[in-house]
Chains A and B, each alone.
Chain A
């Protein structure tokens, strides 16, 4: 009897003995007990409930509404004057010019449009030209340029990129600047005159620098061979874009604003996002703090009408605008801020109601479970 039970114990002992070393040998395989591997990293576990987002809604409402009001007021304080000089209408002074247009005319057509400002423009006034229905963002158009040519690369100057086709080579000479964008550069000349009450025309000084991005003018666009050299010589062997009356090195007399670094060219080369756009043309600097930049009164806009837009139903505009810290006149931002702020505030109230009614019910019904 004794032996029998002893036998059993022995067996048990034997068993545990054999499994022991086996267990030890493989214990190295045991996965590391690190928080990451066990998915037990300490964590913040937020839950979006009516209760937690309520304050956010109210805060957004409280912040957005004043900002919106501020923006709206600012936008309303901005003076903007716009004049369409396309000359579609027979009564328009530019009607003739717009009709007589043909590609090869060397003689320029001029017209002048009188207008009056009801309010004085106080600070710096920015003069834009605006085009409508002009697809500067067309893919074929956008890519039709050679940035390395414009950056003064001599190789590209002589052998422009294929992207410029069909504005790449004319009469076996490379076009500088090549491409559709450069070729279609806006070439109307706009001049502004103040008509004194006594009838004299005072020309308003228009600044043609400072209209392009500083980086564009000084880094992205460069004349080949550096700024010092003789542009005529540098551009020798190239030809002007087809629709330009003069070559690129005769865009301006000021050497700092000539050739590829001409700011009108640079501004034009920054393709607009939408088919209706405006581009900065000139800046009217504030003279002193006493007189407004553009006082109330009558003005004339003299246009050298070169740029054809009628073929594609385009429009040309001249815009005078002051600028605030938030840009030009745009009521959208202010209105949007006010409405989003109010919606948030309203939702906050709704949520408060829901939270009060349902939040408690959920919690109270759950906890006893």
Chain B
């Protein structure tokens, strides 16, 4: 910010002084200026290479490994593995080494592949050819070899390879047209200007002779700010210095339009271009679930360490008696006796290893697999497939599936996201008579004259005149350019009609829509030729108007005017603009009737403009010319003087009528926004567009309702009041509302409460976000956040791409740390997409930038609804169960082993056999939960879509909150106690078989383990709400697999094992009657509390989701009845 201020100061005095703080000097065409002017200081600039990849071939392995082991879990498993390698532990290193190796390899392959794709994309960009002028000739170079100072030739429809200063164009006036659609989302054509002194150099040869230097600021990300100056050495004398502004700067990523070619000089290249600076590095996004998971991990790590510590301490307390430590029957080896000092530590580590399964490596594998496989359901979704585009949803990251179910703030772009980015003329109103082109009457398109349909009674002769004046006004009052259609198609059509067809180009799509609308109403704007505007009137006669002055549009005046001389010599001033800026300047006309229509149209979300005119006499025109020229020639405060002049000129109008243009909303955009609101999300619209347009869209998309009270925080307002006052006033309004609201709720009145919508623009926003200066200002940030929080909808207009990201960041960093989602379609949305927790790209018209950089891409905005409400909800439910269940089942698994230590002299004796220890998480209990986490549907997708409020049930990560986590952990501990002490009392000093033979410790472990596997699997079965055949297959299959495996494992003397401890253990256990009875008993006891909790919670404190579930069940039960009833009623009505 500070640097920027410096530069702007310097910009003001750019003609003289040399104390440029942070600038670069560029020698056009690398030509050193004549000696004496300035010392030649060669500066080093990066080449024009764009690098988005993370690894190179050489650093991939170390860098990737390093990054992977930075994950707490991976590091933990590495440590466990190393401990197992080094010291004598109860379990073999393979049990943890193998899964770890698997996880690391799979992740590395996946990341390597992704980086390879990035390399490929980079190469494609860096190698694309660029035309560079060298020694008066055009040479083709690879884009990456472009250097600062190179003079570049860009042809029509080519994209600028780097940031360029425009030198000259193929057009005489030194202008060119550019669309910055992929940068800021504005698809309209913008005009850029060459410096007047260089615009004549428009061939290779001429450009090569140009000797000039450019001094400019060092690159900064703001797309709309640029300060510099060019010094041109025309005659080897004193150079001519000219200021350079953003109107001279062509940005990388923008496309040249409607101009044959341009010459320009590169000033920022490669990663220093404004586009590259606006891309934030794609940082690893972590979902809230992953964060909870990491928190749980730490809790379990603590549990693990304390368990190990407790056991180590108790071990040493217990074996203080030498007869316990080393009884005669169980002597230590010499080495074991010697290592007394480090013995305690290795004991601790051994306990760690014994209990390490409590944090299972397989959880991470399962979570990764769930995310990866689960994301396919998004791309497979039929409902998110767009026929027109031929594409369905796209998943770029599978890490964030569940985050889709947690969104609290939705930041959406407007153009192309909410709207189709496609303006259409809807109607116009002349003196209260409404004209609708191409109207449909009784289902038939009226031909000929009726292509214009007059809804009101036909006006009289005088009216007819005014009507034609209105049409002429609209046809003339614009800055539209005409491009002759040159395609084969066009020629064919041209032949057909006997006239060339043409397309209109303008910096404002509204104007195009208006002119096209006029064409449909019979008045066709043909071209601007020799400063004469030619229009074709209804009688197919050419009318020519001399264009005298154009008073350009600006957002403060919110209107534009033209002064034309008709062929009959009459002078007209036509003005069109926003109603608020026209009506006060009207002296006559049917104001009331037009205003009525304007308001009516605005309600419908149409963009309205009013049209007015005044006749000028010769003297008037003289005066106007005088005002304008004096203002334009002013050296100081030119803008202010111009504004004053415009103000003087544009008054005393006669109102003609109004127009209505629609930027059509995307299909079901309003419905989607409404659902998102109902689901408890706050929707913000962030757009680079101007406020009026954006506000209209917001109304149309039901973001703002009629009842919404709009709070404005715009430059205009900030000028009137100080920002400080404005903010405080707004916050007061909002807070008062809140106060009365709380009073209402106390008194039990849930009356209509006002909901607020905030409109803020980019400039004000940056003022708000500026760090508090010198005390007095206080921190606006907090007040602003406070206001935003009480608004149901916020509209931010005139936003630069990075500002969008800033807003997202601001909300992300606010107190509650809400989960944000950004959705957009253009390159200008990329920074916000990257910044938000979840970034969604729309596969729009403005290139695939957004879709490429997003986490998910959908074809249309409406797909967001299913994405969040259905997929997000499901994924969240699934993964939270997955995480909780995983910890639960491992508590069940390991806690008995912990308890067993108390009965085996704290000797780290494992309770279960190695095979069971290794396979428990890998195969016996892995598939059911994986499947559950892939296909569970606790409630039907249709219901989720129909009832967006169900989304609130899972808001704020509710299924992974600490109480839930503690419940699961305690359930795990309870179950573990049941398994262990159940088996303990069954075994305790008694015979367990019907043949009098005894069981050993492995049978004890196997009994516990069998109950464990069955309980844990059945617990999942109880949680499953959606039993497809696959669920049945997997759940019963994995139980069967456990039994078969155990039979096999104990059925054979395995030659490669050095112990046969499990031989026939499982069979012997099954052969004993009490074992069966015991298993059944323990199963029932361990499942009982969970069932009870479920039933009670559902009966006493049901959540909305649970109510819906119950309701649905009742409905299905009653469906037959309803069907019968409807049958009866229909027969009665017949």
Contact with B along A68-107 (1 / 0, CB 8 A): 0001000000000000000000000000000000010000
Contact of A50 among B451, B1064, B1098, B1111 (CB under 8 A): B1098
Q: Which of A197-205, A254-262, A273-281, A298-306 faces chain B?
A: A273-281
Q: Across the interface, do B1077 and A147 meet the contact criterion of CB distance under 8 Å?
A: no
Q: Across the interface, do A355 and B1099 meet the contact criterion of CB distance under 8 Å?
A: yes
Among A145, A279, A333, the most chain B Cβ lie within 10 Å of the Cβ of: A333
Nearest A residue to B524, CB-CB: A4
A27 to B382, CA, bound (A): 12
A147 to B1057, CA, bound (A): 9
Q: Across the interface, do A31 and B385 meet the contact criterion of CB distance under 8 Å?
A: yes
Q: Is A239 an interface residue (CB 8 A)?
A: no
Count, chain B residues at interface, CB 8 A: 116
Q: A41-B935, A330-B986, A340-B1085 are in contact. Are A270 and B998 (CB under 8 A)?
A: yes
Q: Across the interface, do B522 and A1 meet the contact criterion of CB distance under 8 Å?
A: yes
Q: How far is the CB of B1046 from chain A (nearest CB, A)?
A: 15
Q: Is A329 an interface residue (CB 8 A)?
A: yes
Q: Is B110 an interface residue (CB 8 A)?
A: no
Residues of A within 8 A of B1061 (CB): 147
Q: Across the interface, do B392 and A312 meet the contact criterion of CB distance under 8 Å?
A: no
Q: Across the interface, do B522 and A354 meet the contact criterion of CB distance under 8 Å?
A: no
Q: Across the interface, do B1102 and A362 meet the contact criterion of CB distance under 8 Å?
A: yes
Contact with B along A112-126 (1 / 0, CB 8 A): 000000000000101
A31 to B1064, CA, bound (A): 51
Q: Is B1040 an interface residue (CB 8 A)?
A: no
Q: A14-B489, A26-B391, A30-B385 are in contact. Are A272 and B1001 (CB under 8 A)?
A: yes
Q: A308-B328, A327-B1074, A359-B1099 are in contact. Are A271 and B1001 (CB under 8 A)?
A: yes
Could you tell me which residues of chain B, from 362 to 396, have a CB within 8 Å of some CB in chain A? 376-377, 379-382, 385, 387-392
Q: Which of B474-482, B769-777, B899-907 faces chain A?
A: B899-907
Q: Which of B129-137, B955-963, B1023-1031 faces chain A?
A: B1023-1031
Residues of B within 8 A of A279 (CB): 998
Nearest B residue to A347, CB-CB: B1092
Q: Across the interface, do A166 and B904 meet the contact criterion of CB distance under 8 Å?
A: no
Q: Is B1109 an interface residue (CB 8 A)?
A: yes
Q: A49-B1110, A126-B991, A274-B984 are in contact. Are A139 and B908 (CB under 8 A)?
A: yes
Q: A321-B991, A324-B994, A359-B1099 are in contact. Are A29 and B519 (CB under 8 A)?
A: no
Q: A137-B904, A321-B991 are in contact. Are A50 and B1095 (CB under 8 A)?
A: yes
Q: Is A53 an interface residue (CB 8 A)?
A: yes
Q: Across the interface, do B1027 and A140 meet the contact criterion of CB distance under 8 Å?
A: no
Q: Across the interface, do A42 and B1028 meet the contact criterion of CB distance under 8 Å?
A: yes
Contact of A48 among B498, B997, B1077, B1091 (CB under 8 A): B1091
Q: Across the interface, do A33 and B382 meet the contact criterion of CB distance under 8 Å?
A: yes
Q: Is A192 an interface residue (CB 8 A)?
A: no
Q: A48-B1095, A326-B1077, A330-B1074 are in contact. Are A39 and B905 (CB under 8 A)?
A: no
Q: Is A328 an interface residue (CB 8 A)?
A: yes
Q: Is B313 an interface residue (CB 8 A)?
A: no
Do most interface residues of chain A lie in helix, strand or loop, or is the interface mixed?
Answer: mixed
Q: Across the interface, do B1095 and A351 meet the contact criterion of CB distance under 8 Å?
A: yes
A183 to B989, CA, bound (A): 23
Contact of B330 among A29, A45, A140, A274 (CB under 8 A): A140
Q: A1-B522, A14-B489, A48-B1091 are in contact. Are A270 and B1026 (CB under 8 A)?
A: no
A359 to B1106, CA, bound (A): 12
Q: How far is the CB of A116 from chain B (nearest CB, A)?
A: 23
Q: Across the interface, do B1053 and A219 meet the contact criterion of CB distance under 8 Å?
A: yes
Q: Is B501 an interface residue (CB 8 A)?
A: yes
Q: How far is the CB of A262 from chain B (nearest CB, A)?
A: 16
Q: Is B909 an interface residue (CB 8 A)?
A: yes
Contact with A along B493-531 (1 / 0, CB 8 A): 100111001000000000000000001101010000000
Contact of A49 among B328, B376, B1078, B1095 (CB under 8 A): B1095
Q: A23-B387, A166-B333, A363-B1114 are in contact. Are A31 and B996 (CB under 8 A)?
A: no
Q: Is B995 an interface residue (CB 8 A)?
A: yes
Q: Across the interface, do B1053 and A216 meet the contact criterion of CB distance under 8 Å?
A: no
Q: Across the interface, do A48 and B1026 meet the contact criterion of CB distance under 8 Å?
A: no
Q: Which of A5-13, A229-237, A286-294 faces chain B?
A: A5-13
A325 to B992, CA, bound (A): 9
Contact with A along B1108-1119 (1 / 0, CB 8 A): 011101110000
Contact of A139 among B90, B993, B1085, B1092 (CB under 8 A): B90
Q: Across the interface, do A166 and B334 meet the contact criterion of CB distance under 8 Å?
A: yes
A64 to B923, CA, bound (A): 32
Q: Across the interface, do A283 and B937 meet the contact criterion of CB distance under 8 Å?
A: no
Q: Is B748 an interface residue (CB 8 A)?
A: no
Q: Is B455 an interface residue (CB 8 A)?
A: no
Q: How far is the CB of A326 from chain B (nearest CB, A)?
A: 5
Contact with A along B1058-1093 (1 / 0, CB 8 A): 111101100110001110011001001100100110
Q: How far is the CB of A174 from chain B (nearest CB, A)?
A: 16
Q: How far is the CB of A261 from chain B (nearest CB, A)?
A: 15
Residues of B within 8 A of A19 (CB): 388
Could you tell me which residues of chain B, from 247 to 298, have a CB within 8 Å of some CB in chain A? none
Q: Across the interface, do B1077 and A337 meet the contact criterion of CB distance under 8 Å?
A: yes
A326 to B1022, CA, bound (A): 31
A120 to B909, CA, bound (A): 42
Residues of B within 8 A of A31 (CB): 379-382, 385, 392
Q: How far is the CB of A86 from chain B (nearest CB, A)?
A: 15
Contact with A along B979-994 (1 / 0, CB 8 A): 0001011111111111
Q: How far is the CB of A240 from chain B (nearest CB, A)?
A: 16
Residues of B within 8 A of A103 (CB): 328
Q: How far is the CB of B437 from chain A (nearest CB, A)?
A: 9
Nearest A residue to B327, CB-CB: A312
Residues of B within 8 A of A53 (CB): 1091, 1095
Q: Across the interface, do A312 and B1001 meet the contact criterion of CB distance under 8 Å?
A: no
Residues of B within 8 A of A22 (CB): 390
Could you tell me which residues of chain B, from 843 to 882, have a CB within 8 Å of some CB in chain A? 874
Q: Across the interface, do A180 and B1000 meet the contact criterion of CB distance under 8 Å?
A: no
Q: Across the interface, do A43 and B1110 meet the contact criterion of CB distance under 8 Å?
A: no
Q: Across the interface, do A60 and B1084 meet the contact criterion of CB distance under 8 Å?
A: yes
Q: A48-B1094, A50-B1098 are in contact. Are A273 and B1025 (CB under 8 A)?
A: no
Could you tell me which residues of chain B, from 521 to 573, have a CB within 8 Å of some CB in chain A? 522, 524, 538
Q: Is B324 an interface residue (CB 8 A)?
A: yes
Q: Across the interface, do A142 and B390 meet the contact criterion of CB distance under 8 Å?
A: no
Residues of B within 8 A of A7 (CB): 493, 497, 501
Q: A23-B388, A312-B327, A358-B1100 are in contact. Are A44 and B996 (CB under 8 A)?
A: no
Q: Across the interface, do A30 and B392 meet the contact criterion of CB distance under 8 Å?
A: yes
Q: Is A244 an interface residue (CB 8 A)?
A: no
Could you tell me which residues of chain B, from 973 to 1022, have a CB within 8 Å of some CB in chain A? 982, 984-1001, 1003-1005, 1022
Nearest A residue to B1064, CB-CB: A215
A311 to B986, CA, bound (A): 29
Among B987, B989, B995, the most chain A Cβ lie within 10 Å of the Cβ of: B989
A25 to B391, CA, bound (A): 11
Q: A53-B1091, A60-B1084 are in contact. Are A47 and B909 (CB under 8 A)?
A: no
Among A6, A29, A45, A312, the most chain B Cβ lie within 10 Å of the Cβ of: A45
Offer 13 A-B interface pairs, CB within 8 angstroms, sorted by A. Answer: A4-B451, A5-B451, A30-B385, A43-B937, A46-B1027, A67-B1077, A135-B905, A280-B996, A312-B323, A327-B991, A347-B1088, A354-B1095, A363-B1111
Known: A124-B996, A137-B904, A279-B998. 11 other contacts (CB 8 A): A3-B497, A8-B438, A27-B390, A40-B941, A134-B329, A138-B909, A211-B996, A274-B903, A283-B996, A327-B1073, A329-B990
**A residues with CB within 8 A of B:** 1-8, 10, 14, 19, 22-23, 25-27, 29-33, 37-50, 53, 60, 64, 67, 71, 103, 124, 126, 128, 130, 134-148, 151, 161, 163, 165-167, 180, 183-184, 211-213, 215-216, 219-220, 243, 267, 270-280, 283, 308, 311-313, 321, 323-330, 332-333, 336-337, 340, 343-344, 347, 351, 354-355, 358-359, 362-363, 366-367
